[in-house]
């Protein structure tokens, strides 16, 4: 008789001495079991993340647009940008909204008189003279918006090539090694947003998981088609992101389902939850990734940024 097969005392092959190497930071399970412990553990992982996203084959420029106010355009611009920068990429946010909210969230100077997107737009100074590095990440940059931009919408009307001025100014981007550029638009379909749509090949539309979410999106899509037909043939709505999702309401699920039915796989799988911390961060001149890196809001923007980068890589693969 074989004593080994009877006793069953031999460990399975390979089981001896194995350790779980997938966890870089060991934290006792009883600590992770508390909500604060779990959040702290996530923050440690995020801040020490080794994960690096691949650089895109060529620079990707996005316009973030939705003429509906308060849907999460700026929050998405700064947090996706910060998440990409945190994962090793070099990112620029161009603040094209006179409210200057993106500049505030990125912690850059935008008092009146600061070299800004206004002077870039009217061709007074080149882009590189307006670049500011965010104090929160060495790879994160911003062209700020000052209150001077409020007059641009009207000034542009009488200018030559009024729809293409930003595109002309952004030609300089080829001299910079930014991997991603995001243009944050104001809540209107005026000349500022049109300039952004003419200047970028990709459009990212944030949609809030709320009643009337899709109202007005038809008008945005018609404007995009018009710009594509006459001014920027490469323009493409590549990405839709669902924001401010409140899992406690059935309405949020309904809206998310409607948006997915309408836009299909352009919609990121990651949904940004409604979270007080996300709305608090700009008040401290921070993105959620700096303000509370272990929060659900921060993690969801990390996930969204990864998806964006991976989808871009997949699309390029198909085109090659
Ligand atoms: N996930 C979220 N959870 C909670 N609050 C959020 C979230 N995302 C954005 N907010 C808050 O909602 C408000 C509107 O967001 P945001 O400024 O990003 O929208 P917007 O589309 O850029 O607005 P505008 O059209 O005025 O430029 C802000 O106060 C912001 O802090
Ligand atoms: Mg905004």
pLDDT tens profile 59-111: 999 999 999 999 999 999 999 999 999 999 999 999 999 999 999 999 999 99
Q: Minimum-distance ligand to the CA of 95?
A: 2
Please, which pLDDT band fits residue 45 given cuts at 50, 70 and 90?
A: low
Please, which pLDDT band fits residue 30 given cuts at 50, 70 and 90?
A: low
- pTM, two decimals, is 0.87
Say if residues 208 and 191 touch (Cβ distance below 8 Å): no
For ligand 1, is residue 97 a contact (CB within 6 Å)? yes
Distance 303 CA to ligand 1 centre (A): 19
Distance 69 CA to ligand 1 centre (A): 8
- Three-state DSSP class for residue 304: helix
Spatial separation of the C-alpha atoms in residues 228 and 251, rounded to whole Å: 33
Q: What is the pLDDT of residues 281-303, one digit of tens each?
A: 999 999 999 999 999 999 999 99
Pocket test for ligand 1, best of 279, 284, 285, 298 (most atoms within 8 A of CB): 279
Q: What is the pLDDT of residues 258-277, one digit of tens each?
A: 999 999 999 999 999 999 99
For ligand 1, is residue 101 a contact (CB within 6 Å)? yes
Nearest to 200 by CA among 228, 176, 222, 178: 228
- Most distant CA pair in the chain, distance: 98
Pocket test for ligand 1, best of 67, 68, 70, 273 (most atoms within 8 A of CB): 70
Please, which pLDDT band fits residue 49 given cuts at 50, 70 and 90?
A: low
CA–CA distances in Å: residue 87 to residues 27, 132, 259, 300: 23, 20, 29, 14
Q: What is the pLDDT of residues 11-21, one digit of tens each?
A: 333 333 333 33
């Amino acid at each position: 008789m074989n004593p080994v097969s009877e006793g069953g005392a031999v460990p399975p092959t390979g089981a001896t001495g194995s350790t779980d190497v997938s966890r870089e930071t060991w934290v006792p399970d009883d600590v992770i079991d508390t909500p604060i412990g779990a959040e702290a553990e996530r923050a440690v992982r995020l801040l020490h993340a080794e994960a690096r996203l691949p650089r895109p084959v060529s620079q990707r420029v996005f316009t973030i647009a939705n003429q509906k106010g308060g849907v999460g355009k700026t929050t998405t611009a700064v947090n996706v940008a910060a998440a990409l920068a945190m994962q090793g990429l070099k990112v620029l946010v161009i603040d094209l909204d006179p409210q200057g909210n993106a500049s505030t969230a990125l912690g850059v100077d935008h008092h009146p008189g600061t070299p800004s997107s206004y002077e870039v737009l009217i061709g007074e100074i080149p882009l590189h003279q307006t670049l500011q590095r965010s104090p929160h990440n060495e790879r994160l940059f911003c062209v700020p918006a000052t209150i001077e931009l409020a007059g641009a919408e009207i000034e542009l009307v009488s200018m030559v090539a009024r729809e293409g001025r930003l595109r002309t100014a952004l030609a300089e981007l080829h001299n910079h090694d930014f991997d991603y550029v995001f243009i944050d638009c104001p809540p209107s379909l005026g000349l500022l947003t049109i300039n952004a749509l003419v200047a970028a090949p990709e459009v990212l539309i944030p949609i809030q998981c709320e009643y009337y979410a899709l109202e007005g999106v038809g008008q945005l899509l018609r404007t995009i088609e018009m710009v594509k037909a006459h001014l920027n043939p490469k323009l493409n709505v590549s990405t839709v992101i669902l924001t401010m999702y409140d899992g406690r309401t059935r309405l949020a699920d309904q809206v998310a389902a409607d948006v997915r039915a309408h836009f299909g796989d352009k919609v990121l799988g990651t949904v940004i939850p409604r979270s007080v911390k996300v709305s608090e961060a700009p008040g401290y001149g921070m993105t959620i990734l700096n303000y509370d890196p272990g929060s659900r809001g921060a993690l969801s923007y990390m996930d969204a940024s990864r998806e964006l980068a991976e989808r871009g890589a997949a699309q390029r693969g198909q085109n090659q």
